[in-house]
Copies of this chain bind each other. A is one copy, B any other.
Amino acid sequence: MRQAVRCRNHVQFALTQIKQPPRTDLKLHKPEKHIIPLTLNTLKAACSQCNLRELCLPYGLSEPEIEQLDSAVGARRRIKRQQNLYRAGESFEAIYAIRSGFFKTDVLLEDGRNQVTGFQMAGEILGMDGISGEAHTCNAVALEDSEVCVIPFSQLEHLSREIQTLQHHFHKVMSREIVRDHGVMMLLGTMRAEERLAAFLLNLSQRFTARGYSPAEFHLRMTRDEIGSYLGLKLETVSRAFSHFQEDGLISVQQKHIVILDHAGLKQLLNHQPN
């Protein structure tokens, strides 16, 4: 039974949970808020000044080690909404740590069908799919104006050979991605439509909470179609499930604005056997 609980966690929790007072500014999805004033300080210091370092690659590193990592981190890069950070087929050079903003990754099939493989937020790492074949295998698209730290992969490997903690943490990050993917496979393979959406909402809530935002109230950065693609459902089904949750008093939906009214109720949906 204990391992079953463990598995549940994989579906919902992609990142280590850290404690931080909840922020009240819930409008981070507005692009204006994301334009960080460029001072000498923010330009020079990457990780050592970053308030995401508990969620990101520097996790567990000592101060001097973080400064070493700083030197490896290349320029920051700003990605406007709807622009690609990278595309499938582009040669792989670097992985990216999200400083601010929101991304989706998707893969495209010959016949035009495409599948969203994930949504990524601040502190999460993008681009690890590219390591295996020296080229990216999916597209990464910003769902709002975003900023990433470019980490040239050869530099990261070089540094990993020197800093054991960094090496191990990077391995953990990659492994976490594998575990996350297993959670999605579970979701796609065994869950019904409303279970999938409930799991999705709880996962988002969890990740926003870990970043200090409200666990109950947030704005979806993606469309119903993108949610549907991720969950293996049609956009109409997603919309209907949202409406149904609202009827049952579990959430409040106003287009992309979501309020979770009954966290426990959503969780209960997951445990429920289909037959």
| A residues with CB within 8 A of B | 1-8, 10, 87-89, 107-115, 117, 128-133, 135, 137-138, 157, 160-162, 164, 167-168, 171-179, 181-186, 188-190, 229-232, 271-273
- Which one of B2, B114, B168 contacts A89 once the chains associate, using CB atoms below 8 Å? B2
- Which one of B5, B88, B131, B189 contacts A175 once the chains associate, using CB atoms below 8 Å? B131
* This chain's copy number in the assembly: 2
Interface contacts beyond A161-B162, A174-B174, A181-B181: sample of 7 additional A-B pairs, CB < 8 Å, sorted by A:
A2-B89, A10-B137, A129-B179, A137-B179, A161-B161, A184-B185, A189-B229
Q: Would B87 and A3 count as touching, CB distance under 8 A?
A: yes
Q: Would B131 and A171 count as touching, CB distance under 8 A?
A: yes
Closest Cβ of chain B: how far from A206's Cβ, in Å?
15
- Assembled-state Cα–Cα distance A108/B111 (Å): 33
- Which one of B109, B168, B184, B232 contacts A7 once the chains associate, using CB atoms below 8 Å? B109
Chain A interface, >50% SS class: helix
Closest Cβ of chain B: how far from A129's Cβ, in Å?
5
**Across the interface, which residues of B come within 8 angstroms of A190, CB to CB?**
109, 113-115, 232
- Assembled-state Cα–Cα distance A177/B128 (Å): 10
Closest 7 CB pairs of A and B: A131-B175, A181-B181, A3-B88, A132-B175, A3-B89, A188-B188, A189-B232
- Assembled-state Cα–Cα distance A129/B10 (Å): 11
- Assembled-state Cα–Cα distance A25/B117 (Å): 39
Question: 28 interchain pairs (CB within 8 A)?
Answer: A3-B87, A3-B88, A6-B88, A7-B88, A8-B110, A109-B190, A110-B271, A111-B271, A111-B272, A111-B273, A113-B190, A115-B186, A117-B185, A128-B178, A129-B179, A130-B175, A131-B171, A131-B175, A132-B172, A132-B175, A132-B179, A133-B175, A157-B171, A171-B174, A174-B178, A178-B178, A181-B181, A181-B185
A5, A107, A108, most chain B CB atoms within 10 A = A107
- Which one of B7, B89, B160 contacts A6 once the chains associate, using CB atoms below 8 Å? B89
- Which one of B1, B6, B110, B128 contacts A4 once the chains associate, using CB atoms below 8 Å? B110
Do A10 and B171 contact each other (CB < 8 Å), given the known contacts A2-B89, A115-B186, A117-B182? Answer: no
- Assembled-state Cα–Cα distance A167/B272 (Å): 43
